[in-house]
Amino acid sequence: MSLEIERKFLVKNDNYKNESFHKTYIKQGYLNSDEHRVVRVRITDKNGFITIKGKSNAAGTTRFEWEKSITPIEANQLLLLSEPTLIEKTRYYIKKGQHVYEVDEFLGENLGLAIAEIELNSENENFEKPDWLGEEVTGDLKYYNSKISKHPFKNWS
């Protein structure tokens, strides 16, 4: 069993772009997104993935995660079965200290939303916080990609 430990933040500005060492386009959809598990299909550049994530702990930092590579053809076929709406985003990778932040700039119906994530080895691990990092939204279900796919940012009031 693999555990994912991560924290999520909004971003104050786009200064992270100047610090990014890589970026990639991501398209993803959900085959299942109930409160106990999500099954995600993702395409990044030339790679496909299927991922299963369990329910987060009370703090929203830790949950079960299993991921397997699949072909882009398989991923595109599975995306045809996904729940509405597909998520499209550009992901920027920024190294800070011993960690790498992933900043997702959402596109399409979620244009204008940007979320930074950092994966940790433990829930209490210390990490460097860059000046572009904003409010922490770890555990706020509203900012989970599976929720954003059902309630796009453009509809938030």
Q: Which residues are catalytic?
A: 30
CA atoms within 13 A on the CB side of 89: 25
What single-letter DSSP state applies at residue 41? E
Dihedral (CA of 90, 148, 30, 56) sign: positive
- Distance, in Å, from the CA atom of 6 to the CA atom of 136, rounded to the nearest integer, reads 11
Single-letter amino acid, residue 76: N
Contacts of 16 (CB under 8 A, 6+ apart): 92, 94, 101, 103, 116, 130, 132
**Which uninterrupted H or E stretch holds 24?**
strand 22-33
